[in-house]
Structure 1
Amino acid sequence: MTQTLKQPSGFADFVAGERAVLTRVSVRVVPDGVELLLPDGQPLVWRWADLRRLPDQAEKDALVIRRAGNMVARLYLRDSELRTQIQSRAPHLKKRDRSIPMSMLAVWAGGAAAAVAVIIFFLVPVMAAQLAVLLPAEGEKALGDTTFEQIRMALDETGLGSTAICEGDDGNAAMRAMYDRLNPTPDLPYDVQIHILDHDMVNAFALPGGRIVFFRGLIDQADNPEEVAAVLAHEIGHVVNRDPTRDALRSAGSLGVLGLLFGDFAGGTITLFLANQLINASYSQSAETTADDYAHDLLDTAGVSPAALGTMFERLLDEHGDAEGIIAHFMSHPQMGARIAAAQAAVVDGRDYGSVLNDVEWQALQTVCGSASPRQSDPDSLDKKVWPDGE
């Protein structure tokens, strides 16, 4: 009489994959493979050729196996006899499943890149435009205050403090008089604060919350107060349309998306990035055109020639060239030639335009930082940094 050999059996912990819950199951070695008796009484056979070992750092004393093609269901075997039997009979226990084809990976990568592009270049700008209108003025001002201080620290070349704010009382009064004569108050969502920084960069920009920042270098470069007024009118246009807030929200949103993908871009890094972006005034071309149009109308209403904006651009373009210098600032802006032509076209024929400041006020503005304008003392001594590269 032939004696039937008893097949090894025991118990193991089973995870089906739907939930991270261990289920105690009966396990028996059969000729075709490993038979699992599930709690519902139904046997499940994992064939020898399909068994794959899964290294598991949390289970040093268990053999963790799964079936080929199934990455979630697994069996934790601690019974030494069962482990020995399976390791000796399963021919492909250490085999890896066929890897995902490169073509499929390329498709997935392309889809992911497209999704990120849609988020950054479409969804984030749309949401930023909506939030810029809904954001309370207090929130905008807090963002502008923080960014302003970061800018002052970033531009200080000594590393010991912050770039100084020009404190000349008469000069700041002249700047305020210029602002009052432009009279943009009815258009503004909040009050405007104007600061002049003691730095030779030829630049001006608006920050969230109504801050407008001028650099001494721009005032030094101006031939007359009307050119400064034209730049001021342009920056007021950005404040009216809340472009700085929209740009800051768009940049922060894009950084947030990229931070999820590549690492932490939160906190001070975002603030520094926004400071750099706002120094470079990287608003959209449409925003710049709208701000120019607003400046033309504001200047004309105040009795100041809109051509002053064009002459400021034109002289800087002649002095510093089109490939670098100020063009670095305007890389995301409309073409300089078109902006100059638009300013000249905004001049109303036959209208008698006047000066926005008298000679005393203009002299006070030129010395607001405590020294005479280099253009007044020595026109050939200028060695200035214009709008920074990188835009």
Structure 2
Amino acid sequence: MSIPARFHDGLTAEVQAVDLDFETVGAVGTLVIRGLDHGEIARWPAEILFALPGRKDELRLGAIGQPDGARVVVQGHEAVARVLATIPQLTERRHQQTGREIRLAVTATVALVAVIAAYLYGVPLLASRIVTVVPPAWEQRLGETVALQMEASLDGEAGFELCDDNPDSLANQAIARFGNEVLAGSGSPFELDIRVVKSDIPNAFALPGGQVFFFSSLLDRARTPDEFAGVLAHEIGHVAYRHGMEQLISTAGTGALIGFILGDMTGISVAAGLGATMIDARFSRDAERQADAFAAQVAQRMDFNPAGLADLINRVGVDDEFARALALLSTHPLTEDRKAALEALSRQRPTGLRPPFTTAEWSAIRDMCKIPHN
């Protein structure tokens, strides 16, 4: 008894109503496809048949060596059961195919989990080790690229406007001298480039390669030289430990690793979008603690209170919601443990040290961005 089906020849869009018969000659079985006029359309040996994905109570059969779209479609639970009973090899092959699909799905899932785990945990763990072999020249060029992107993201194509573009001014000379004294003895391969720029966002950044940005809005909120010196020393600590490069490797993940392997740490493939990423990124807790400890060590050589950093971060956070979302409290979260550690470190300072800035220098720094005195 024939089994009704539909036939697609794989060459045209035509769908033919057909009847299926199964003939056996010796041990060889053949599926015979006939039109409703009983004319033979095709003969498919059983050993070349395979099942294709289909809906419930539907069996789709293809054949090796036939056009890709060639198939026979059998519908209905009873008709499908008759075909499977007549050609038992199909049931075995369906089980094999299902097993392969399950194994493929499991393998793909395991691979995806491994990639995600490597991205979330492996790359950040390796970043601190990878950064030690990144050539300083590469890091400097990458930092320049990121700085340009950051300027464009925050202030448009015009970039940042320096509060004081005269490198020989009293304020710039004082800041440069302070930076050099802070970095002295750290073994850092970089020369500092500290820029005080006009911005409504109260924040400060240390970028790869030695660039440090201090925003005028944050300077406006600094009430004492200690607060300014504490933040600046903290950011220079990030430079000394190369935390910016470490952060970019962690953020860029595989792209940065490929760029490092290929010797391209400045191309678009690695650097694109990292300026905006650095604006919103925060260093790890370990990196923040390292930078805090670095600032405290500097305070033992120069007479400023490292706890001023905590005071300024805390004040910025309560000023307004804008500052809380986009400024120092967001990128440099002040935990209770961190605040307590800074206060403890401040108590260890020796007395009788030379202040980092004279009264005249601090006054000039405060006037850099035309900030009125309190």
Q: Using a 3 Å threshold, how does the CA distance of structure 1 residues 110 and 243 change in structure 2: closer, same or farther? A: same
Shift in Å, 1:329: 5.0
For residue 297 of structure 1, report the CA deviation from its aligned partner: 1.0
Which consecutive residues of structure 1, in runs of 5 or more, have no partner in the other structure?
1-28, 36-44, 55-63, 67-73, 258-265, 380-391
Partner of 1:127: 126
* Equivalent residues in 2 for 1:1-391, closer than 5 Å: 31=25, 32-33=28-29, 46-47=45-46, 50-51=49-50, 65-66=62-63, 74-76=64-66, 107=106, 110-156=109-155, 159-169=156-166, 170=169, 171-253=171-253, 268=268, 271-320=271-320, 325=324, 330=329, 335-346=334-345, 347-348=347-348, 351-352=351-352, 355-369=355-369, 372-373=370-371, 376=373
2:214 aligned partner, one-letter code: F
Per-residue deviation, residues 170-218 of structure 1 (Å, max 9, x unmatched): 2322211322443535432322211222112111111111111111111
Check conservation: 2:197, 2:216, Cα contact below 8 A.
yes
Deviation at 1:335, TM superposition (A): 4.2
Gaps of 5+ in 2: 1-22, 32-43, 54-60, 74-82, 258-265
- Distance in 1, Cα, partners of 2:332 & 2:214: 19
Residues 248 and 274 in structure 1, CA contact (< 8 A), matched pair in contact too: yes
Question: How far did 1:161 drift?
Answer: 2.1
Q: Which amino acid aligns with 1:116?
A: V
Task: Say whether the 8 Å CA contact 1:305–1:354 is kept in structure 2.
Answer: no
**Distance in 1 (alpha carbons) for counterparts of 2:185 and 2:164:** 24
Query: 2 CA distance for matches of 1:279 and 1:319?
Result: 20
3-state DSSP of counterpart to 2:159: coil
Q: Which amino acid aligns with 1:310?
A: A
Q: 1:121 to 1:228 in 2, by over 3 A?
A: same
Q: TM-score, normalised by structure 2?
A: 0.67
* Contact 1:205 1:281 (8 Å CA) reproduced: no
CA RMSD of aligned residues (A): 4.2
TM-score normalized by structure 1? 0.64
Deviation of 1:267 (Å): 6.5
Partner SS, residue 213 of structure 1: strand
SS of alignment partner, residue 75 of structure 1:
coil
Query: Which is further off, 168-177 or 98-107?
Result: 98-107
Deviation at 1:287, TM superposition (A): 0.8
Paired residue type of 2:159: S
Cα pair 1:144 1:208 within 8 Å, conserved: yes
Letter of the 2:164 partner, please give it. Answer: E
Asked whether the equivalents of residues 316 and 326 of structure 1 are also in contact (C-alpha less than 8 Å), the reply is no
Matched pairs, number: 304
Q: Partners of 2:140 and 2:50 in 1: how far apart?
A: 63
Q: Contact 2:203 / 2:327 at 8 angstroms: preserved in 1?
A: no
Q: Distance between the aligned counterparts of 1:351 and 1:118, measured in 2?
A: 49
- 1:243 alignment partner AA: H
Displacement of 1:160: 4.7
Inter-partner Cα distance in structure 2 for 1:307 and 1:77: 77
* Separation in structure 2 between the aligned mates of residue 191 and residue 185 of structure 1, nearest angstrom: 13
Q: Percent identity?
A: 27
CA contact (8 A) 1:247 1:283 kept: yes
Are 1:313 and 1:336, in contact at CA under 8 Å, matched by a contact in 2? no
| Shift in alpha-carbon separation, 1:110–1:160, aligned structure 2, 3 A | closer
Change (3 A) 1:100 1:212: farther
CA distance in 2, matches of 1:104, 1:53: 18
| CA gap 1:367/1:272 in 2 versus in 1, 3 angstroms | farther
CA contact (8 A) 2:310 2:334 kept: no
Counterparts of 1:327 and 1:337, CA distance in 2: 20
- The aligned amino acid for 1:373 is I
What is the CA distance between 1:339 and its match in structure 2? 2.2
Q: What SS is found at the alignment partner of 1:205? A: strand
| Equivalence for 1:17 | none
Alpha-carbon offset, residue 358 of structure 1: 1.8
Q: Determine the C-alpha separation between the residues in 2 that align with 1:195 and 1:349.
A: 28
Offset of residue 140 of structure 1: 0.3
